[in-house]
Amino acid sequence: MVEHKADQKQGGSIFDISKLQKQPNLPTEFVWPEEDLPDPNPEELDAPLIDLSGLVRGDEKAILIAAEQVRRACVNHGFFQIINHGVDASLIQAAHQEMDAVFKLPFDKKLSISQKPGSLAGYSGAHSHRFPSNLPWKELYSFLYSHDKSSEEAEVVNYFKSVLGEDHESMGRVYQKFCEEMKKVSEMILELLAISLGLEDRLHYKKYFEDAKSLMRVNSYPPCKNAELALGTGPHCDPTSITILHQDQVGGLEVFYDNKWQSVRPRPDAFVINIGDTFMALSNGKYRSCMHRAVVNTETERRSLVFFVSPKEDKVVRPPQDLVCGEDQQRKYPDFTWSDLMQYTQKHHRVDGDTLKCFVDYLMSSN
């Protein structure tokens, strides 16, 4: 029998993973279909390691080399890793350590800070407030960050203080600083993406996202005795634009490429970057949003930090004219807003490998 508590505000059940992992057998809600189960010895994905130091110092030759590496990765599977990104190692370490303040809270306190219907911010245990089966073996905590300079300077700090209490101000400051650094990293990536696509204005995407509202998420994947039957995150493409991930040394990220699941090696000094559905539309389909997942470990907890970059909610998602001006470069996707796609994934569609295609079909039928 699965132990759970109902939270009437959520309209569903939230599972206490800390208790579930002590049960001898994996509850059926967490057992995935056989075709989705992990391979114990996956191949390693050829995800290029890209040095950003040339972009930082304005070395045009190094920038063009990095842009070509980005292009090759993005036309194939959309995944690459970056080093010399300028984010201090001590800040990354602190961001990993501060997760304890959420994931070690009493269960009742976690319930009180849970995601509300339609909201992306808050705590979630296995997304069980949204889905009845194929549940991910993880806990997560999410919060929003505004790129707009006119936004509140201590936005994240104030959020943590208001939701978790005044005694979590220092935690809020760590994540405020981390988000500010992720914004800087995203701007470098967006510039490289524009160069790699041959845009006349290499700052096109950087300007497009200058008023972005991104989602920061911390993930905990507890040990699972039946890890061979479970997944930490199911197969999906990110509906957002670009994802910046830092995974600990336990590893577990896998990408479906060349008809097989391939692992992404963890590196303490690197961030993993991947293209999401929204950027695939912004590139007019030239760059791929690739299906990926996270597997869990039998004995060791896995943790990750994820920064999902998205446009402002009401901004029209449309590729630059450079990518649609030729006879062989017709528009592949209709205009939509990030709010349209986000609401679709919240109300109508559980994100998977076909989210963008299904969303476009939904838009066309609605029109």
Q: What is the pLDDT of residues 19-78, one digit of tens each?
A: 776 788 888 888 999 999 999 889 999 999 999 999 989 999 999 999 999 999 999 999
Write the pLDDT tens digit of every residue in 275-330: 999 999 999 999 999 999 999 999 999 999 999 999 999 999 999 999 988 766 78
**Mean pLDDT, to the nearest integer, of 97-122?**
87
Write the pLDDT tens digit of every residue in 329-367: 789 999 999 999 988 888 887 888 889 999 999 888 887
Question: Model confidence at 5, in pLDDT bands (50, 70, 90)?
Answer: very low
Write the pLDDT tens digit of every residue in 136-183: 899 999 999 999 876 667 899 999 999 999 989 999 999 999 999 999
200, amino acid identity: E
DSSP string of 270-306, one letter each residue: -EEEEE-HHHHHHTTTSS----EEE---SSS-EEEEE
Helix (H) or strand (E) holding 195: helix 169-196
Q: Using CA atoms, how far apart are residues 282 and 89, in angstroms rounded to an integer?
A: 32
Q: Mind telling me the catalytic residues?
A: 302
Q: Using CA atoms, how far apart are residues 152 and 45, in angstroms rounded to an integer?
A: 40
Q: Is the pLDDT of residue 1 over 60?
A: no
Q: DSSP character for 228?
A: G
CB atoms within 10 A of CB 201: 11
Lowest mean pLDDT among 106-115, 203-212, 300-309: 106-115
pLDDT value at residue 21:
67
Q: Using CA atoms, how far apart are residues 232 and 222, in angstroms rounded to an integer?
A: 9
Q: Is the pLDDT of residue 9 over 60?
A: no
- For a pLDDT cut of 90, what percent of the chain falls above it? 69
pLDDT value at residue 111:
87
pLDDT value at residue 325:
80
Q: Using CA atoms, how far apart are residues 262 and 251, in angstroms rounded to an integer?
A: 12
Q: Is the dihedral of CA 113, 117, 121, 127 positive or negative?
A: positive
- For a pLDDT cut of 70, what percent of the chain falls above it? 92
Q: Is the pLDDT of residue 4 over 90?
A: no
DSSP string of 61-125, one letter each residue: HHHHHHHHHHHHHHHHTSEEEEES-S--HHHHHHHHHTTHHHHTS-HHHHHHTBPPTT---EEEE
